[in-house]
């Protein structure tokens, strides 16, 4: 099973980019973030023509998550992250696909720091921590994939002094990610590539792509029973410089 994650940064605007990548790489499951479209306008038919069934939770202009499956019908188990019923932001969707539970994550960015957006980020990550614990306790195979908006370590970012106040590298955000790993989750891409930065995001500004001034924001966390099934994984960085591209590149893993 090939599972991918891709912050598409507007699924309607970048539909052609998405379909071209799907056709070229043929992942079995795709977690999309920042779809930025209400549910009634999600491109269900275009993705069906590309061979994918979609489940999704969107909102106008911002956020939005979706899970695509090739040759399978995702069974939705959640359309929001537990812990705050009043939270209106579309940042989590979860579905069972071919015996694996897949959680699609778009964590808050949290800028500027300090401020209410950073406080929301930390509260959201705490809710994720609680839910992740409940998934482990359920004893089912789980992949939590998506844009965590956390750079786990200094090795995962092109260092520059202008990034010092960025929410994605703050100690509290990194500690929240580390607490997930301490529960027993495996950071799949880092496990497969211990000696490569493996960036997944390059800003549109200051020629970030040309300078390879990137960050690793997009992650796959695997439950313990999937660790021995992890075979391969990579970032499809070739997508990033294409015309009209998202500022993220898709990443993927393969499970035996």
Choose the CATH number for 2-255 among 3.40.50.1980, 1.10.260.40, 3.60.10.10, 3.40.50.10420.
3.60.10.10
The domains of the chain are located at 2-255
Cα–chain-centroid distance for residue 18? 15
In angstroms, rounded to a whole number, what is the distance separating the alpha carbons of residues 173 and 37? 27
pLDDT, tens only, 190-238: 999 999 999 999 999 999 999 999 999 999 999 999 999 999 999 999 9
Residue 203, helix vs strand vs coil:
coil
Residue 98, helix vs strand vs coil:
coil
Beta strands, E only, 16-111: 29-33, 52-57, 65-70, 75-78, 92-97, 100-106
- pLDDT at site 163: 67
Closest by Cα among 135, 146, 153 to 196: 153
In angstroms, rounded to a whole number, what is the distance separating the alpha carbons of residues 117 and 108? 8
pLDDT, tens only, 85-121: 999 999 999 999 999 999 999 999 999 999 999 999 9
Residue 241 has pLDDT above 90, yes or no: yes
- pLDDT at site 162: 61
């Amino acid at each position: 099973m090939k599972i991918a994650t891709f912050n598409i940064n507007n699924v309607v605007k970048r539909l052609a980019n998405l379909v071209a990548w799907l056709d070229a790489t043929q992942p079995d499951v795709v977690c999309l973030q920042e779809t930025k479209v209400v549910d009634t306008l999600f491109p269900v038919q275009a993705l069906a023509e590309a061979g994918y069934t979609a489940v999704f939770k969107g909102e106008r202009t911002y956020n939005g998550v979706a899970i695509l499956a090739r040759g399978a019908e995702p069974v939705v188990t959640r359309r929001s992250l537990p812990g705050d019923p009043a939270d209106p932001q579309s940042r989590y969707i979860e579905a069972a696909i071919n015996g694996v539970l897949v959680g699609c994550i778009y964590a808050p960015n949290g800028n500027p720091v300090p401020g209410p957006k950073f406080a929301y980020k930390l509260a959201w990550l705490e809710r994720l921590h609680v839910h992740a614990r409940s998934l482990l306790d359920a004893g089912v195979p789980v992949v939590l994939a998506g844009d965590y908006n956390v750079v786990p370590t200094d090795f995962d970012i092109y260092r520059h002094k202008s990034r010092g106040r960025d929410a994605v590298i703050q100690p509290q955000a990194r500690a929240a990610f580390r607490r997930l790993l301490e529960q027993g989750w495996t950071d799949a891409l880092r496990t497969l590539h211990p000696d490569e930065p493996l960036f997944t995001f390059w800003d549109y500004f200051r020629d970030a792509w040309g300078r390879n001034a990137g960050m690793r924001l997009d992650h796959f966390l695997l439950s313990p029973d999937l660790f021995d099934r992890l075979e391969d994984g990579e970032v499809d960085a070739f997508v990033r410089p294409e015309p009209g591209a998202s500022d993220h590149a898709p990443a993927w893993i393969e499970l035996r």
